[in-house]
Structure 1
Amino acid sequence: MSVHENKKLVRNFWEQVFNHGNMAPIDQLIGPDYTYNGQPGTASGTKAWAEALRKQLPDMHFTIEDLIGEEDKVAIRWTLVGTDSTSGQRVTSSATNIITLRHGRAISNWQNGGTSFQPVSSQAA
């Protein structure tokens, strides 16, 4: 697949799964040999994680800050904002993922950041 097609797949995945709660792209994008930060991963595990995140932050919205592709890799830098369902507090997080694709399927995802939430300042809200 072309770099443009790979970038389109990754953008669609983020928009559909995280911003719209449509889990179907997970089965379409996650390949059978997928790894996350070097550890084996599965579509079902990714789906369970995404559903748990949506339950924790029901109004979450991911903004794609950068989307860069080269050969079989796509780098995405994103910012997340949402309301924590337990505390009612607006929170944010950001990270960068580098996804390697083969034949339209993700085979690897390396994520840096995005594992904790910070309160959204009143100026940023």
Structure 2
Amino acid sequence: MDDFIRLIFRILYYIFLWWILDWIFNPDRKNKNRYNNFNSNTDDYEESSQDNQFAQMNPSKLEESYGVLGVTSEISDKELKKVYLQLAKKYHPDSVESSETEETKMAEINSAYQYICEARKIRK
């Protein structure tokens, strides 16, 4: 039983050493994670083979989503978020007398923004 406990502690020791060495020698660890390729030092996305995979699946829906927000695909991420927030403020059901058309419009805006964010791999 003692040998088994020693083996467990030795495995944990090596995992801890690997984690410490990775933390010391991997400076990009803070800027990247497995969900996106965002590099905060350059405020840009790094190229990868999966960057436009979502958009390539259904480009017509992506174009439609840009149309719902009233922007083009060349818009920057910051401008896109600004336009989304303006539209959300304008059509939010709590800000004006809500009607079914405004609620439907708000739902379209939300789904379009979500689709574009997934296609661009933008963190919200």
TM bucket (normalised to shorter chain) is under 0.3
Q: What TM-score, normalized to structure 1?
A: 0.23
Rg larger in structure:
2
Q: Which has the higher helix share?
A: 2
Q: Which has the higher strand share?
A: 1
